[in-house]
Structure formats: C-alpha cells, structure tokens
Chains A and B, each alone.
Chain A
C-alpha cells in the first residue's frame, strides 16, 4: 500500500496477545486499537500502567509482531527498514551501551542510518551541543544522569532528521527542570513541523503539546480524538453563583433547579452554586430575573484532560483499589 494522503501512521484494529506463565495463559495486552496520525500532527498516547502503550509502540517499530490487525508506517509495513528510517524513536528510560561516549553512540546510530562520515562529523557535535551535552561529549555514558541519558536519547532520535518522532514516556523520571527542558524541546520540534507520537503520564504536558489524544485502558481505546473536541464534547459546562431572594427562596430555588441539566453543587445559606450545561445559560438568566434572585457570578468551565483521563481510564474495584491490566507486559 502506498503512502496515502498525509496519513503517516495508521493502526487498524491492532491486537496483541501474549502467553504468560508455565501454562501459557493468554493475556491480551492490546485489543482492536485503531488510530491515524497525520503529517505534522502531535498525538498523545495515554493510559495507566499496563494499558498497552509500550506494547503498541513496540508493534509500530516491529520489535514485536501483532497478533491481529494491521500497521502502516508511511504506507508500508513496519518491518520495512526504509519506513523505519523515517522514524526517530526514544525508548522509555533509554539504555545505550554505557561504555560508549555520546559521540560514539551517535556515530554508531548514524552508520545504521547510512549517513556518510562527513555528515556524521558535522551533525553529531551540533546536535549534542544543541541538547546541552557539549561539555560531556567525551565522557562515557555510565556516568550520566537520567536526564542526560534522555538527552542522548533525543539526540540519537533526531540524527537522521526523521519525519516522525515516537517517544515512549519522554518525561518520566525527570526532575522538574529536566521535564521543562524536554517539553520545550518537543514544542520546538513540533514547531519545526515534525509529527509527534508520544506516550506520557504527565497530562498537563500532553495538553500543551498535543493536537489529539488516544486514551487506552486495559489494552483498548476508551477515548480518542482531537483534544479540543474531546474536552468540549458534551462537557462544556457553566457554573453559576446565585443569591436567592429572602422572601421567596424556596420557590426561586425550585424554579432554577427545575431547568434541564441544572445540578446543585453547593448551598450556603441563601447562596446556591449551580452547574449547568452551557446551552441552558439563557434560560437560567431568564429564570433568575423571574425569581427575583441575584446572579453573582457566571463562569464557563471545561473538563480538563486529567478529569477525562480519570473518567475514562481509571477503574475502581469494589475494595477501592485501582484496577489495572492483569499481568502481561506494559
């Protein structure tokens, strides 16, 4: 299949089942995941631990074979080395040969991409310098901090100037400054037109870096779409703070709460805090006038990604423990 339109990554009903334990018990790590990443888009891949994010990414990179479904990477099968040549990959907690120096790691990677010696010589110090590793170019990786290793990982992912960057938990385990720096790097890459596909637990980062998200839970997609649509979709709400009239409080409250979708969040004395669908706001203001109440405050609020994530991806078992995918690789 040739690369069509701007779809650079297509997952079509991707499924992966592992056999674990002595008796080969089946564990379905990924089930029927379908998504499309277009050129220049940035997609956040979310899900709790064990939800199948890393397994899906390994399928995309041909590290493991899907049990069902299809993956098209730049219109080709991921086993096609030429398709993978257009991808820059940063594994979760990247491990490189710790006896090598950053320049040696990148030189090795450059050879695998078929970059000539002159290009490698020019590009490697430039990238390392740009990623703040200029001072550590000649030190072995075994002495590097996690943040520094992450930068080496990012540098090697950018060496071939790829069209698509696949980053697995690029912000996990970093200190706040490291996270800020990596986030800024990713924003910069995005502004340079790179397509980003990355998994993360840090929802605020996803909110700022992604156009779209795909939320996984126990291997299956539970929410997917453009971030703006997902967070707005039937979730655009308003909150009103209303003071009821002293002489007619009960009737006024009955009138206001009788409106469709209106929910009392709090009542302190004669002051009511209501939550209501935004399209009910005109009806509410009319009712406030009719009930001779006072509208103290009216604000619009949108569901945050965190709320969406918690709602879609976190399940509570009866004893209050969070349910996770039983066994199997992440």
Chain B
C-alpha cells in the first residue's frame, strides 16, 4: 500500500468563503475542546455555582421583601465578574500557549490564513464564555425560583449586555495576547476592564471644578486619554436601573450592543494587524 493516494487526486477545498468558515470553525472547535479539559475553567464554574447557591442561605438574613433582591443583585454582580475573570485568564494565554507549546508551528504552515486562525481562537473562547454565562444564568434562575422570584426579560437584557462586555474584554485580551507575554497581557486586559468600569467617574471628575483632574493639567490630559482609549464598560451595567425598576429602552439596549461590538471589532482588527506581521520564531 502506498503512503500517498496515487490512484486519485484528493480534492482540497481552500478558496472561497465556505472553506474559510470551515477552517475558522475547526480552530474554534479545537479551542473549545482544549478549554473543555481546563481544570481552572471548571473549578471557577463550580465555585461560582456554589456561591450562587450560597446566596440563598445569605438571603435568609435579609428582610422578607429583600430576599429576592439580594439574590438578584448577587447574581448580577458575580456572574459577569466571573466570566470576565475567565476571559482574562484564558484570553491572556490564548496565542502564547500555542507559540510556547509550538503547536502553532504545525498548524499555520497548513493552508489556513493567520486571520482565520485568530478568528477561530476568538470564536472558540467566545462560545466557551457564552456556555459559562448560560450555565451560571441557569443556576441563577433556579436560585431565584427557589426564593420565589422570576427570571424577567430585564434580567435577560442585563445578561445579554454582560455578554457584550465579556466579548469586549475577550477581544482586548486577544489583542494583548498577540502583542505580549501572558502576565503583561493579563495585566493590560485587567487594566482595560478596571479603567473601563470607572470611565464615567473619570469623566465626572474632569467636569468638576475642584479635584486633581480639574486642577492638575497633566492629570486632565491623562484623564482625556484614558476616556478616549478605554471603552466605557459602565454602558453594559444596568444593575442600578434594574434595582430601581426602571425599564431599559430598546434604543439604549441597541446602542450599548453596537457600542460594545464596535470596540470588539476594533480590538479584533488590531489583533489581526499585529498577528499578521508577527514573526513566529
């Protein structure tokens, strides 16, 4: 038997959109498969589920009319944070691990474009985080049900916006991962997240008549740079509105989603530009 097919020439589907999508899906599938064996991921998921269950016990300490609210607030605060933590941890090593383990050297010489590989990695991680969010949301819904609460449309909206925020942080992690080593990319991604969460505070401080941002010109410049370069992640946080019982207008939801996805696109394009030019020594 020959080592190769000599009787019939194999058909390789390389050009066109469908083969490109198939390659992206293959990389995404492998990324999911790898994460599916990640003990840290499952450990984090398990601990969060335990915390959500624990919130039921905690709510017993609250006044009768506050029990559901406590569980709701707890879920709204913890679920996005855990998913973002996972995005930072896994995103920061997304490309580095492939280079460090030299698995990339066996994959990129194949007829796959670097952009397809990167998009596949991003898609895989995004799907994993969606699964994590869905699992935690399902657990949260169960806990709310036990407390006599309901999983309203507003909560679904809140989770959807959280997912946009998670995607944004993942895309930032992807960009820094294409640029630097894991520790630095993790720190930079956390920086984007933390500053992004307080951008509105910086804005307020710059508009005030007193305080360091108003009085020190250098700080004012720094504030402007931060506000311009870092996405405003408070856009995706509608917990206050939910607590106040204020309905989220569809226009706001759409605007926030588009705002988030624009940043995702920006970071992904930057990642592609960096990764395309990077020497894989």
What residues of chain A have their CB less than 8 Å away from a CB belonging to chain B? 18, 55, 58, 61-65, 81-82, 84-85, 87, 89, 91, 93-97, 99-100, 108-109, 111-116, 119, 123, 126-127, 130-131, 153, 156, 158, 160-161, 166, 185, 188-189, 192, 194, 329
Asked whether, in the complex, the Cβ of A114 is within 8 Å of the Cβ of B109, the reply is no
Asked whether, in the complex, the Cβ of A123 is within 8 Å of the Cβ of B5, the reply is yes
Asked whether, in the complex, the Cβ of A127 is within 8 Å of the Cβ of B3, the reply is yes
Residues of B within 8 A of A185 (CB): 3
In the complex with contacts A81-B111, A84-B111, A99-B33, A158-B4 CB distance below 8 A: yes
Extra A-B contacts (20), CB below 8 Å, given A95-B106, A116-B11:
A18-B281, A58-B105, A63-B105, A63-B279, A64-B281, A65-B279, A87-B109, A94-B106, A97-B30, A99-B37, A112-B112, A113-B110, A114-B23, A115-B13, A116-B13, A119-B11, A160-B12, A161-B4, A188-B3, A192-B6
Minimum CB–CB distance for A302 against chain B, Å? 32
Report the separation of the CA atoms of residues A166 and B279 in the bound assembly, to the nearest whole angstrom: 19
A-B contact pairs, 21 of them (CB 8 A): A64-B280, A81-B113, A85-B12, A85-B111, A87-B109, A91-B102, A97-B30, A97-B103, A99-B34, A99-B37, A111-B25, A113-B14, A113-B111, A114-B13, A114-B14, A119-B10, A123-B10, A130-B3, A131-B3, A160-B10, A161-B5
Question: Which of B1, B9, B26, B280 touches A161 (beta carbons < 8 Å)?
Answer: B9
Question: Which of A64, A87, A156 touches B279 (beta carbons < 8 Å)?
Answer: A64
Report the separation of the CA atoms of residues A230 and B95 in the bound assembly, to the nearest whole angstrom: 44
Residues of B within 8 A of A62 (CB): 108-109
Residues of A within 8 A of B279 (CB): 18, 63-65
Report the separation of the CA atoms of residues A85 and B106 in the bound assembly, to the nearest whole angstrom: 13
Q: Which of chain B's residues has its CB closest to A29's CB?
A: B281
Asked whether, in the complex, the Cβ of A126 is within 8 Å of the Cβ of B33, the reply is no
Report the separation of the CA atoms of residues A97 and B124 in the bound assembly, to the nearest whole angstrom: 16
Asked whether, in the complex, the Cβ of B9 is within 8 Å of the Cβ of A89, the reply is no
B209 at the interface (CB under 8 A from A): no
Minimum CB–CB distance for B108 against chain A, Å? 6
Q: Lowest 9 A-B CB distances belong to which pairs?
A: A114-B13, A85-B111, A111-B26, A81-B111, A61-B109, A64-B279, A95-B102, A89-B109, A112-B110
B277 at the interface (CB under 8 A from A): yes
Asked whether, in the complex, the Cβ of A97 is within 8 Å of the Cβ of B34, the reply is yes
Minimum CB–CB distance for B19 against chain A, Å? 5
B101 at the interface (CB under 8 A from A): yes
Contact bitstring B26-39, A, C-beta under 8 A = 1, else 0: 10011001100100
Question: Which of B12, B29, B37 touches A113 (beta carbons < 8 Å)?
Answer: B12
Question: Which of A85, A93, A112, A119 touches B107 (beta carbons < 8 Å)?
Answer: A112
In the complex with contacts A81-B113, A95-B106, A97-B30, A114-B4 CB distance below 8 A: no
Report the separation of the CA atoms of residues A156 and B108 in the bound assembly, to the nearest whole angstrom: 13
Asked whether, in the complex, the Cβ of A81 is within 8 Å of the Cβ of B3, the reply is no
Q: Which of chain A's residues has its CB closest to B112's CB?
A: A112
Q: Which of chain B's residues has its CB closest to A65's CB?
A: B279
Report the separation of the CA atoms of residues A151 and B182 in the bound assembly, to the nearest whole angstrom: 32
B65 at the interface (CB under 8 A from A): no
In the complex with contacts A85-B12, A111-B26, A63-B102 CB distance below 8 A: no
Asked whether, in the complex, the Cβ of A112 is within 8 Å of the Cβ of B3, the reply is no
Residues of B within 8 A of A99 (CB): 33-34, 37
Residues of B within 8 A of A329 (CB): 281
B194 at the interface (CB under 8 A from A): no
Minimum CB–CB distance for A52 against chain B, Å? 12
Interface residues of B in 109-132 (CB under 8 A from A): 109-113
Asked whether, in the complex, the Cβ of A114 is within 8 Å of the Cβ of B12, the reply is yes
Residues of B within 8 A of A97 (CB): 30, 34, 103
